[in-house]
Structure 1
Amino acid sequence: MTLSPGAPVPPISTPLIATDLDRTMIFSKAAMGPEQFAALDLCCVEIHEDAPLSYMTSEAVDLLGTLAASAPVVPVTTRTPKQYKRIALPGSPFRHAVVSSGGRIITDGTDDKAWRRHIDTQLSGAGADLDTVVAELRSRIDQSWVKKLRIADDLFCYLVVRTERQPAGFLADWTGWCAPRGWTVSQQGRKIYAQPATVTKSAALAEVRNRLIDDGTLTAGAPVLAAGDGLLDADMLEAADRGIRPAHGELHELGFAREHVRVTESSGALAGEEILAWFHAAMPAAGAA
């Protein structure tokens, strides 16, 4: 059932906490908006090219640090390993992280090559290859509205666009081309991603959960609690025992609603605080109290 904002959370065994990062847990100034950026007490958690890029509220920093000391927290992100390692998250280093939208698992700071081999095998013959998709994408864009086209981790591609100039029908047309060829399209702010549909955050997270059960960190019945804001997080939220999404972002615009997925009351960086408070409320000690 969907919990009301003040409803108590039933006690459970120690859960696995899985959270998307950008626009769910960490926020750029643009993602927050100038008013929220000016009003909140913020901590910088990412510097890129000698400039601050991503932030959390000071309350969110405290909450995530405390949470990471009580339960296994797994960052689950579309970022590549290099992009992920730029972030200094409270509670880190995390034992496991899912990056490249599930294309890679980082364990104790090291890329899990066996998982990537599994992904590469899975992709063989499963729809259009990356070169075909990139060639088609190039034929559909121009510099009047696209700032960059990037290939990420030899796995997927994305555009950085000027949203105010983006053609109205581009996203629908591009999705229509990609879907029957086994690719998923997602727009998150200024970035438009295309990735193989067989590569998912949920599959990589399930692998991490199995490993944590095998080594005794989690019990066999340990639930997964997940948070995310974008279409590429939908499969993770669907597979989770319970989930939460912010009242902003791609899933919010799509009206994504599931019985076991709560929606925050706040948006922007305050939604990140609310998500972390929700995770805390789901911990066994909080449920018992």
Structure 2
Amino acid sequence: MNLFASDLDRTLIYSKRALHEMETPWNESMIGVEVKNGEPVSYMTKDSYDLLKEIATKHFFVPVTTRTYEQYKRIFIFNEEMPMTYCVTSNGAKIHYKGELVKEWAQTIHTRLKEDCMEKGELLQKLQIYSLHGELKIADNLFFYYVLKTNIDEDIKRELIQVAIENGWNISLQGRKLYFMPKPICKGEAIKYIIEREGVEKSIGAGDSLLDLPFLNNCKIGYIPRHGELTLEKIKNPTQHLTIQKGAFAGEEIVRNVHKQFIC
């Protein structure tokens, strides 16, 4: 069995804000895939949707996201229109199999959090001296992020990285969102668990941020959109490839490549 594991926001699906930032504004080739308060809020191109649906019908397609499970369920195409055996949410802290939480994995994460990193409340206290301008949000009582109102200074970012690392955490800046993530909560470990559990033969991954890199490294082939946080890093793994396109068309390019490898 083959597996395609992909980040969602700014990799496969895009808000109008994200499309605008990437200078690839919404157009009629894009369809709504997520609804919030009765309105579409995220999009894919129609070709991307059609190809992904075919992949998901014949192979394991695993959405991998920093979203909580409740936020993930707003993406109705994965709950109503495409067959999902697995999904990875909360950055790898939770794995659902056919809609049910994998308790073995949840217990593994719980144990690692106790042993390997500072409690989030203590880290938040350490961060108070930086006066981060933005709204603080706590996700699943596991990790947190700031929705920034202003750009963060590079010197401050380097200091924050150091503070995080010293206390068993990682950070990632995705658009306006600055994530603080405990090291045990890792998309890469979650995907590794699924690959081993299912005896996957060929695995392809796609993601745009530093939080995605661990699971890209656990896949035999990786695709990186030419607009994300990872484009600022030197890609050392020869099996990982940058897209030519940006925005939703990068997402379509990724799905086309996966479709060629799996279907053709």
Kept after mapping to 2: 8 A contact 1:264/1:275: yes
Q: Aligned pair count?
A: 261
How far apart in 2 are the matches of 1:49 and 1:138?
33
Cα distance, 1:121 vs structure 2: 0.4
- 1:36 matches 2:36: no
Cα distance, 1:257 vs structure 2: 4.2
How far apart in 2 are the matches of 1:112 and 1:229?
26
- 1:52 matches 2:49: no
In structure 1, what residue type is equivalent to 2:116?
A: A
Structure-2 residue corresponding to 1:183: 169
Structure-2 residue corresponding to 1:8: none
How far apart in 2 are the matches of 1:160 and 1:93?
32
- The correspondence for 2:58, drawn from 49, 54, 70, is 70
Kept after mapping to 2: 8 A contact 1:98/1:201: yes
Farther off after superposition, 115-124 or 267-276 = 115-124
- The correspondence for 1:156, drawn from 132, 137, 143, is 143
- The correspondence for 2:215, drawn from 236, 244, 247, is 236
How far apart in 2 are the matches of 1:58 and 1:33?
18
Structure-1 residue corresponding to 2:102: 112
Kept after mapping to 2: 8 A contact 1:47/1:53: yes
How far apart in 2 are the matches of 1:122 and 1:137?
23
Secondary structure of residue in 1 paired with 2:254? helix
- The correspondence for 2:255, drawn from 259, 276, 279, is 276
Structure-1 residue corresponding to 2:235: 256
| Cα RMSD (Å) | 1.7
- The correspondence for 2:68, drawn from 80, 84, 89, is 80
TM value normalised by structure 1: 0.85
How far apart in 2 are the matches of 1:266 and 1:109?
33
Farther off after superposition, 268-277 or 111-120 = 111-120
Structure 1, gaps ≥5 residues long: 1-13
Structure-2 residue corresponding to 1:11: none
Cα distance, 1:27 vs structure 2: 0.4
**Structure 1 residues 122-133: aligned runs within 5 Å:** 122-133=112-123
Kept after mapping to 1: 8 A contact 2:120/2:143: yes
Secondary structure of residue in 2 paired with 1:205? helix
Cα distance, 1:93 vs structure 2: 4.1
Deviations along 1:247-267, one digit per CA (max 9) or x if unpaired, are: 111001234342000111000
Cα distance, 1:20 vs structure 2: 0.6
In structure 2, what residue type is equivalent to 1:174?
A: L
Cα distance, 1:162 vs structure 2: 1.9
How far apart in 2 are the matches of 1:43 and 1:269?
11
Secondary structure of residue in 2 paired with 1:16? strand
Deviations along 1:43-97, one digit per CA (max 9) or x if unpaired, are: 1111223332111111111111111112111111111111111112365341100
Structure-1 residue corresponding to 2:159: 173
Structure-2 residue corresponding to 1:96: 86
Kept after mapping to 2: 8 A contact 1:134/1:157: no
How far apart in 2 are the matches of 1:160 and 1:254?
23
How far apart in 2 are the matches of 1:25 and 1:77?
11
Kept after mapping to 1: 8 A contact 2:32/2:44: yes
